[in-house]
Amino acid sequence: MDARLRRWTADSASRWLRQLQAEEPVEPPVNEQERERILRVCSVLAQFPAIGLRSAEGPIAERELRDALGRDLARVPSPAGQVPRFTLRPQARRQGLASLGNLRRMRELRRLNGIEPAGVVQRVLDEYLEEDFSAAASDDVERLDAALEVSGWLRGFAPAMPAPGAIEMRRARRRLLQPMERLTAGFMGRDGEPRARC
C-alpha cells in the first residue's frame, strides 16, 4: 500500500506541475483609465525614467507606471550607474498618441515633463510637436534618423510633415556623403598648393 500511495502522490504532483506550467501567468487587473492617463504622458516622451513623471492630475509614482504599463514598456540600455530609462512599445505609443488626438494636446502634455538629458529623438519629437520639420532637411544623419522615427509616430497628426520617403532618400544621400566630408575637411583652403607643383 505504501508503494501505491507514493505512486499516486508522484502522479498527482506531476499532474499539478504540468497544469501550473501550462497556465498563463496571472497579472493583476489593469485600471484602463489609469493606463490611458499614464500612456498619454509617456507617448510624447521618446525615453523616460520610471520616476518623476507628471500627468495633468499630478505626479505618477513608479509603481503606478509599472502597474499600468507593464507590458507596454521596453527598457532602454543605459550605462551603469544611470537611472534606468524606458520607452513605449510601438503599438502602445500609437494608442497613446491617438487618445490625445492632436498636436496641441500632445504639446500641452509634453510641457509637464522636462526629461534631461533629452536625446536627439526627443529633441526632434519636440520640434515636430511645434510643427518645425527642419530635422527632415538636416545634413546630420542622426537627426534624419530621428525625423524618420518621429514621422512614423506622428503620421496622421501633422499633415505638413515631410513624407517618410523623402526623409529616407535624404538620409541615404547623407550617409554616403558625410564620411567623405569628414575625410576631406582638412583640405579646405589649400587650392593653390596642387597648382604650384604642376
Q: What pLDDT, in 10s, does the model give residues 132-177?
A: 999 999 999 999 999 999 999 999 998 899 999 999 998 888 888 8
Contacts of 43 (CB under 8 A, 6+ apart): 88, 92, 93, 95, 96, 97, 99, 100, 106
Nearest partner of 178 among 133, 151, 143, 128, judged by Cα: 143
Nearest partner of 88 among 142, 50, 32, judged by Cα: 50
pTM value is 0.74
Whether the per-residue pLDDT at 2 is higher than 80: the answer is no
The rounded Cα 2 to chain-centroid distance in angstroms is 60
Contact indicator for 137, 170 with CB cutoff of 8 Å = yes
Cell of 53: 513623471
Query: What Rg, from alpha-carbon coordinates, does the chain have?
Result: 26
Residue that has been written with the C-alpha cell 505504501 in this structure: 2
Instruction: Render pLDDT for 18-52 as a digit per residue (tens, 0 to 9).
Output: 766 666 554 556 688 999 999 999 999 999 998 99
Cell of 157: 497628426
pLDDT-based confidence at residue 87 (cuts at 50, 70, 90): very high
pLDDT-based confidence at residue 182 (cuts at 50, 70, 90): confident
3-state secondary structure of 9: helix
Choose the weakest-confidence range: 1-5, 114-118, 120-124, 132-136: 1-5
